[in-house]
């Protein structure tokens, strides 16, 4: 056994349980993200696993070693757990140079000297090794803090929103460099984020939390393409919702017929479709212009003849609103995003198609 094992961890503040029986495993070299809305308990789980809060219920192992147990009340302090920590407010030591900051927690500094030189070069920091932190940009300070956290070769690295203070360009670059470095070191990493795109980009596995519970544990593809609930589907932004009822293993909607073989006949369901899960083609133009690769269906089929309410360019994509006559959702409006420029006239007719894999069907609560 190696990496991080958290078993059935529960934690309460003032009798209010904010983490409820959550188990987490992060294997060696694995990058796992805890993703969920503000207040769902991500940071608390991370802090308890790292030893910054005393464990109340459950167990934490790092490698083979039991580092905290709710039953016995045993809590090894963070500095004895062999973990690296990096939080949003990563304070570098102002009176130490960049190199001194990085090697601060390393016992035999000479042993990590050549690693540090290579890592500084990978992070574009070689020229700054002997300057003091206040002369660095935010992104550079963040990268120094990361190197400081991993220089002592921890078994597990805990990161809490480490990129949130950076602007968009620096964030993308710093994420890339961070990932490359962590993959080389082979450390097990658990990172908290509330940004689904960041989790998708960085994680080998994403653990989705809501109200103190683990909702789904899967690869980024599982979470995006095979969400297990409306909650997880909603994480990635606005979703179109159609109501329906299961009949002989299928659900009929204005946007097509979708299979739901696992649900009983008569079950009320919601069909959730993301704006980028719908393809559009103009009707009436000759030849038809297609946005996406789906052919236009015959006019009598579902998915045809919807009126365009608005169409606007977002630069790299176009956002089109269509109306489903006499149908839900509220106002019968459906949002669609297609790559590139596709701007049918307001009032014109389009047909819409949805791949079965883009329709996520859940029981209506």
Contact pattern for ligand ATP over residues 182 through 221, marking x by CB under 6 A = ------------x---------------------------
Burial 97-107 (b: 16+ CB within 10 A, else e): bbbbbbbebbe
Q: Which two tokens stand for residue 262?
A: 């696992």
If binding is defined by CB under 6 A, does position 40 make contact with ligand ATP? yes
CB hemisphere CA count around 142 (13 angstroms): 23
Q: Which of 36, 139, 218, 277 binds ligand ATP (CB under 6 A)?
A: 36
If binding is defined by CB under 6 A, does position 171 make contact with ligand ATP? no
Pairing of strands 188-193, 31-35: parallel
Stretch that binds ligand ATP, among 41-49, 74-82, 282-290, 342-350 (CB under 6 A): 41-49
Give the residue nearest to ligand ATP (CB): 43
Stretch that binds ligand ATP, among 42-50, 175-183, 248-256, 303-311 (CB under 6 A): 42-50
E strand or H helix at 48, and its extent?
helix 42-50
In the complex, minimum distance from the CB of residue 126 to ligand ATP, in angstroms, rounded to a whole number: 34
If binding is defined by CB under 6 A, does position 48 make contact with ligand ATP? no
In angstroms, rounded to a whole number, what is the distance separating the alpha carbons of residues 204 and 214? 17
Query: DSSP of 86-107, one letter per residue?
Result: E-TT-PPPTTS-HHHHHTTT-S
In the complex, minimum distance from the CB of residue 223 to ligand ATP, in angstroms, rounded to a whole number: 17
Contact pattern for ligand ATP over residues 235 through 274, marking x by CB under 6 A = ----------------------------------------
Site for ligand ATP (CB under 6 A): how many residues? Answer: 11
In the complex, minimum distance from the CB of residue 58 to ligand ATP, in angstroms, rounded to a whole number: 15
* CA nearest neighbour of 275 among 352, 197, 365, 194: 352
Q: Which is nearer to ligand ATP, 104 or 231 (CB)?
A: 231
Q: Which of 5, 30, 42, 242 binds ligand ATP (CB under 6 A)?
A: 42
Backbone φ, ψ for residue 261 (5° rounding): -65, -20
Query: DSSP of 221-289, one letter per residue?
Result: HHHHHS-SSHHHHHTTS--EEEEEEEETTEEEETTEEEE-TTS-TT-EEEEEE-GGGEEEEESS-SSPP
If binding is defined by CB under 6 A, does position 13 make contact with ligand ATP? yes
In the complex, minimum distance from the CB of residue 158 to ligand ATP, in angstroms, rounded to a whole number: 12
In angstroms, rounded to a whole number, what is the distance separating the alpha carbons of residues 119 and 152? 13
Site for ligand ATP, rule CB under 6 A: 13, 18, 36, 38-44, 194
């Amino acid at each position: 056994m190696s990496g991080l094992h958290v078993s059935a961890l529960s934690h309460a503040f003032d009798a209010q349980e904010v983490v409820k029986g959550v188990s987490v495993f992060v294997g060696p070299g694995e990058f796992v993200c805890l993703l969920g809305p503000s207040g769902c308990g991500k940071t608390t789980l991370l802090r308890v696993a790292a030893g910054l809060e005393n464990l109340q219920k459950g167990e934490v192992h790092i490698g083979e070693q039991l580092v905290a147990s709710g039953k016995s009340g045993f809590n090894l302090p963070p500095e004895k757990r062999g973990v690296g920590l990096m939080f949003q407010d990563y304070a570098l030591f102002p009176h130490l140079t960049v190199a001194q900051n990085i090697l601060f927690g390393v016992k035999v500094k000479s042993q990590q000297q050549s690693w540090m030189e290579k890592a500084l070069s990978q992070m574009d920091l070689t020229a700054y090794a002997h300057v003091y932190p206040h002369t660095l940009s935010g992104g550079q300070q963040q990268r120094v803090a990361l190197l400081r956290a991993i220089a002592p070769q921890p078994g597990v690295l805990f990161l809490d929103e480490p990129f949130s203070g950076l602007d968009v360009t620096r964030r993308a670059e710093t994420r890339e460099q961070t990932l490359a470095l962590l993959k080389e070191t082979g450390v097990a990493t658990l990172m908290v984020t509330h940004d689904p795109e960041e989790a998708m980009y960085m994680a080998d596995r994403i653990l989705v939390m809501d109200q103190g519970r683990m909702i789904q544990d899967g690869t980024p593809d599982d979470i995006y393409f095979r969400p297990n609930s409306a909650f997880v589907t909603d994480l990635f932004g606005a979703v179109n919702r159609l109501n329906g009822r299961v009949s002989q293993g299928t659900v009929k909607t204005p946007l097509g017929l979708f299979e739901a073989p696992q649900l009983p006949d008569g079950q009320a369901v919601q069909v959730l479709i993301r704006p980028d899960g719908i393809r559009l083609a103009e009707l009436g133009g000759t030849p038809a212009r297609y946005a996406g690769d789906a052919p236009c269906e015959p006019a009598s089929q579902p998915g045809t003849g919807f009126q365009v309410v608005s169409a606007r360019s977002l630069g790299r994509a176009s956002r089109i609103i269509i109306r489903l006559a006499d149908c839900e959702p509220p106002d019968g409006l459906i949002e669609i995003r297609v790559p590139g420029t596709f701007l049918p006239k307001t009032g014109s007719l389009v047909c819409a198609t949805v791949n079965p894999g883009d329709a996520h069907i859940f029981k209506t609560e």
